[in-house]
Structure 1
């Protein structure tokens, strides 16, 4: 059991992307990790963190810069993926604190990239797909994107959409909305 069962790390990643297929030899890689720490018992977002990650097998495209606002020069100054995972485990206790993301993309991207780079997976196995929980709580027929979910919940979009730290902050607001409604998975606080 985690030392702080009422804490939750909300994760959102941005990755290299292209309009259409990636250029030959390039693959989608994490370039930004947003992490918001939530205290489910207190109903508060405690801290927002951002890790920039230097891609090893891809370049930031103009499409990616337009979408996420990240440039190649900016991510060139980032951490290696291995170091980012080490910091998640050491500084943010990612292996012992439950975590959530909006959908399974973030979890799957970490799994793929850790496997490909032979990097230790930084997270524990207590993951919640907040999109699934939100869809069930609101009785929706389809799973909404984060921005649409904020509208459904009557919450503002804070910061820039498609920035890891801002998106994790907004997803954390949705998690707290679900917890306040009594619809966050039991045993997480």
Structure 2
């Protein structure tokens, strides 16, 4: 391989959630990190990963299980959030590779949870929802499932499952790349980071 390859990590997280306000003392915590690696030069998805994260300050509600399919017993087998961040850095070069997510929720959720843990990502982040909306001339930013319909792409796997959502978001990134609509400059300004 004589050429340098630009790999992009596409991230989607699922977090504890409730139908209404969280119970007293509980907060939204990441319970699953989906990561699909995209080779932008080759125009293909080259890696699909999932990290289960054991919540420390919340429990998986029946509403959360219905939405994501994740159960308390399943996430109890996961790693700590600190270990998940370490895995992202070591195994997926998260601090070096550029990354993307659908909207800004994932980036902000990591920032909230990284008060006592080193933030695993670098400062090159793309908001794929923003890019998609601009590329398609949409006034309202669609959810991922709606964007797949607009792009004529299938929804693969289960919606609101981090691993599957990252895979589908990566397909949307490649759709934008094929249209020459994927920007070379990150959409998130460097001063948006803590």
Q: Is the TM value for this pair above 0.5? A: yes
Equivalent runs, 1:30-179 vs 2, <5 Å: 30-115=30-115, 118-179=116-177
**How many Å separate the matches in 1 of 2:133 and 2:82?**
34
Tell me, yes or no, if the aligned pair for 2:133 and 2:141 is still in contact at 8 Å: yes
Q: Which structure ranks higher in relative contact order (CA pairs < 8 Å, sequence separation ≥ 6)?
A: 1
Tell me, yes or no, if the aligned pair for 2:5 and 2:41 is still in contact at 8 Å: no
Partner SS, residue 155 of structure 1: coil
TM-score by length of 2: 0.93
CA displacement 1:26-66 (0-9 Å, x = unmatched): 00000000000000000000010000000000000000000
Partner SS, residue 22 of structure 1: coil
Give structure 1 stretches of 5+ with no counterpart. none
Partner SS, residue 9 of structure 1: strand
User: Residues 51, 145 of structure 1: CA spacing in aligned structure 2 closer, same or farther, 3 A cutoff?
Assistant: same
Tell me, yes or no, if the aligned pair for 2:100 and 2:127 is still in contact at 8 Å: yes
1:24 is matched with which residue? 24
**How many Å separate the matches in 2 of 1:184 and 1:169?**
17
Tell me, yes or no, if the aligned pair for 1:147 and 1:157 is still in contact at 8 Å: yes
* 1:181, distance to aligned residue in structure 2 (A): 0.3
Poorly superposed stretches of 4+, deviation over 4 Å: none
TM-score by length of 1: 0.95
CA displacement 1:75-123 (0-9 Å, x = unmatched): 00100000000000000000000000000000000000001xx000000
Aligned length: 184
Tell me, yes or no, if the aligned pair for 2:8 and 2:39 is still in contact at 8 Å: yes
The RMSD of aligned alpha carbons is 1.3
* 1:22, distance to aligned residue in structure 2 (A): 0.2
Give structure 2 stretches of 5+ with no counterpart. 187-194
* 1:5, distance to aligned residue in structure 2 (A): 5.5
Partner SS, residue 169 of structure 1: helix
CA displacement 1:107-153 (0-9 Å, x = unmatched): 000000001xx000000000000000000000001000000000000
